[in-house]
Structure 1
Amino acid sequence: MSNSKQILVVDDDKTIRELLSEYLSKVGFSVISAEDGIEMEKQLALHQPDLIVLDIMMPGDDGFVLCQRVRQNSNVPIIMLTANSDEVDRVLGLEIGADDYMAKPFSPRELLARIKALLRRSAFHKAAIDSVKPRFMKFAQWKLDALQQTLLNDNGESLSLTGADFQLLMLFLENPNEAISRDKICQTLHGRDAFSNERAIDVHLSRLRQNLGDDAKNPQIIKTVRGAGYVFIAEIQRLTE
């Protein structure tokens, strides 16, 4: 694979690191790895990976802490690995900015499929962002910079969006006053059947609403339409700067 994408695997289990390094390398990816948060920071100082596979349960800073740290200055796609069958870990991972999750033990083939899907959507949305004209959109108290994936409110405060949050917001902005179904949201964010991702959709919508300061009980931006989906009801202005 020319111009191969680089994957950073962060897991304290050496067997998993070696397994994924060998498996992903065979299908054309460039793979770097880290056994903990300290090594991860060193790798990120040297490289700019296209995607991170991040274990939750590790000594020192766990995956939740590391995910939040990455999200402070990067929108790189993150897939979290959890050995806990409890849904809480998965939901929390999505709430703090992860794009997807997988439970251990996992199939390397399924992980590969999810990696490819995330990278495809990332590339697609980057191309879409680059072609967005105008670059800026104003709604409610927010001004969106589509190129930088940031929101600026009327008080001058800036909010950087994760890849999933930005994709969801753009879905609404590109389809104002139209009901967006949960299936459509799931396909946009995960590219998989919606049945197994009901809770994930709720988390993504809740996080976006929270970021926008929109009250689901008295919505001014995103309204829930029972049986139909969600409608972006705020007026949108497309700006040149």
Structure 2
Amino acid sequence: MLGILAAIFGLATTTVAAQDQLVPGKNVNMVGGPAVLTLNPFQLEGDPNLQRQNEITLDCSTRNPLPGTGESAGDAWLGFYWTTDGGARWRSFLHPGHPRDPNPTHPLKPYQAAADATVRCTTNGLCYMSGIAFIRGNNQPSAVFVTTVIDNNNTENGFPFANLGTTVVATSNSKFLDKTWIEVDRPRPGAQVMNIAAQNGVPAQSFPVGVVYLAWTEFVGNDNNVRTKMMVARSLNGGISFEQPVKVSEGYP
């Protein structure tokens, strides 16, 4: 009897260990979906010009495990990717505010290029995307920003994410702001409540939000004395606004 139990126990242990192993799936081209390019009105989907993509970042919705969102830095602007079937198929667009965006009031409209994307998803389907925007050249303006989107989980085949807006967290007229990184806490007791108005058939939503932390590097000095400051800012209201940035470290030659 002991021998039988030992054999059964050993088999169960082996099975669990096998289940814990990672099983790689096939590679999927995230920009390989529909390719659309029209100039008037301007619309770009997919990658009709086969441009370079790099620095990918990815996270999954907390309202539904199948939808996911990602960003990458191509040449000159950030791409926005989404899937509703666990990554089997993707569609991609430019992040709003690019030079051909017909909306002249978008906060990123003054800038020529954007890069260094990071994505973090948190409770209630919220996802935060951070990045840098800048004008090319020496001593030109730059900025760091956060875009907030929400997975409304309201469609089987369509686009479930709604863009809640972009917040420019910090700007500089001459210092280069670089390499953002974002993290978000879960809602704690006493957390502020985010209120989202009803739109496009989605009912109004109201829920507490966790603190959003954004870090980035600020290059200071000159060509002969380059050094950096590490800056951090936080948002208590779901990325709508950020507190004054704080310097947490500074490198010296």
Choose between structure 1 and 2: higher helix proportion.
1
Structure with max Cα Rg: 2
Same fold per superposition (TM over 0.5): no
Name which structure has the greater RCO, CA cutoff 8 Å, separation 6+. Answer: 1
TM-score normalised by the chain length of structure 2: 0.28
Choose between structure 1 and 2: higher strand proportion.
2
TM-score normalised by the chain length of structure 1: 0.29
